[in-house]
Amino acid sequence: MPEQLSFTGSISGELDRAVAVAAVATSDPLPKLRQGGGQPIDLMPTRTQCAEFMPDIGIGPDREIRYDYLATIVGDVAAHRVALVVRLGHGVVKVQPTEVRSGWLELFIEGQEAAPRQQLPPISITLDADRKGGTVDGWLGPGEPGTTTATHIAGQWKCG
C-alpha cells in the first residue's frame, strides 16, 4: 500500500510501502502485554490496519456516541522495520469525519527499546474523509525536537 512518510533524526529515510495490510477492524488492534495484573502495555504492531471502535466510555457528556480511531502503519525505513501508530481518542464523532479533537503518535522500531517513542508537542494530524488515511507532522522522542535522539515524521499515511 503506498505511503509517503519521511523520517528524519534518530532514524532517517522514507516509508513508501506499508506491509501486512489487514481489513478495517472494529476493536483495538494493538497487541497488548499485561504484567502482574497492571495496565496493559502496547506491543509493536505487525499489521497495517485502520480501526474504529467504541472505547470503554462510549457516550460523551452531550450524549453523542464517541469512538476511538487508530491506524497502524508498518513498513521499512532504511534498514529498520517500524510501526507508526496514529490514535485519535475519545471524541472522534462519526458525523464529523475529519475533525480531530485529540490525537497522539507512537513509533515502534523493531529491536530497539521496548517502550515506543512518544510524541513531542506540537503535532498535526488530519484524517481523510474516507477514514482510511490522513496526514501527520510531528516529532517523537526521547529528546527534544531537532536533536539527534528525536525523530521527525511528516507526510501521508494509508491504512486500508
Answer whether the bond into residue 122 is a cis peptide, omega within 30°.
yes
Q: Answer whether 90's CB lies under 8 Å from 66's CB.
A: yes
Please write the tens of the pLDDT for every residue from 10-68: 889 999 999 998 888 887 777 666 555 555 567 788 899 988 876 655 555 555 555 67
Cell 522495520 -> residue: 81
Give the alpha-carbon dihedral of 136, 137, 142, 144, to 10 degrees: -170
Strand partners, 132: none
* All cell numbers assigned to 122: 506540537
Please write the tens of the pLDDT for every residue from 91-146: 544 444 454 555 788 888 888 765 667 777 778 888 888 888 888 998 888 877 77
Domain edges within the chain: 2-34+41-158
Q: Answer whether 80's CB lies under 8 Å from 109's CB.
A: yes
Residues 36 and 20: their CA atoms lie apart, in Å, by 31
148-151 long-range Cβ contacts below 8 angstroms, 24+ apart: 148/9, 148/10, 149/9, 149/10, 150/9, 150/10, 150/120, 151/7, 151/8, 151/9, 151/10, 151/11, 151/107, 151/117
* All cell numbers assigned to 138: 510531528
Query: Which pTM does this prediction carry?
Result: 0.81
